[in-house]
Structure 1
Amino acid sequence: MKQISIIKWGNSYSGTYSYGSEIIIAKENVKFSSPMMPVGARIKTWNSAGNYSNDRISPTLPLLLANSTYKIELYIEKNNKNNVQTIIEFYDKSNQKIGIEYFDGLSLVFTYPAEAVSYTVNLINHQHEL
Structure 2
Amino acid sequence: MDKKDTSEKVFYKDSNVFVTQSRYVTGNKTYTMRNISSVTISKITESRFGPKLITIIGILIIFISTNLQALGGLLIILGIIWYILIKDSFTVRISTNSGEINSLRSKDKLYIEKIIKAINNAIIYRG
Asked if Structure 1 and Structure 2 have the same fold, meaning a TM-score greater than 0.5 normalized by the shorter chain, the answer is no
With normalisation by structure 1, the TM-score equals 0.19
Structure with the higher fraction of residues in helix conformation: 2
With normalisation by structure 2, the TM-score equals 0.19
- CA radius of gyration, larger in: 2
